[in-house]
Amino acid sequence: MNTIPIEPLTAVAFAPFGQVIELDGAHHYPINNGMTERYHDLARVELGGVHARPLISIFRGQPYALPLSLLLVERHPLGSQAFYPLAQPSWLVIVAEDDSGTPVRLRAFRPALGQGVNIAMNTWHGVLTTLSVVSDFVVVDRGGEGNNLEEFTFDQPYLIAEQA
């Protein structure tokens, strides 16, 4: 079984797969008569296909235990998918490169407190993977006509584990 170590989430490491959503270093400015700080344009929402429209949802993830046996990844060929936690859960973002329709070179990232991700359109990724407790996330993705979900099941599972 191939083992994938868990890495810290950074904008540079995650760039091939999408964007990290975080306040540190983000463009921001005051609004509402100076009473609110707007952190602006934190991710690139991608919408493709017929009659595409953005969706805003809440996902409630049940916790997984580590080490995690990973058999399935998915991708959304018609839109990006952003996840931002509503509390401060421990969670993982699992992504992979594509090789002619096959996910390869998998990576697992652990977001720090206050970090979310926007997974780019057509990028292989694991399902919402919270650790320890049930956790709620705001999710921005695509609605509209067309099949926006592809799944891939591995012949042999990958093991997601803390680095030794």
Cis status, amide bond into 5, omega within 30 of 0: no
What's the CATH code, domain 2-161?
A: 2.60.120.480
pLDDT digits (tens, 9 = 90+) for 100-155: 999 999 999 999 999 999 999 999 999 999 999 999 999 999 999 999 999 999 99
Q: Output the pTM of the full model.
A: 0.94
- Bridge partners of 125, per DSSP, are 74, 95
How many Cβ atoms are within 10 Å of 28's Cβ, its own excluded? Answer: 12
Looking at residue 164, what is its pLDDT?
65
What is the distance between the alpha carbons of residues 27 and 4, in angstroms, rounded to a whole number?
A: 33
Q: Is the alpha carbon torsion for 64, 69, 71, 77 positive or negative?
A: positive
What are the residue ranges spanned by the domains of the chain?
Answer: 2-161
pLDDT digits (tens, 9 = 90+) for 21-53: 999 999 999 999 999 999 999 999 999 999 999
Looking at residue 1, what is its pLDDT?
73
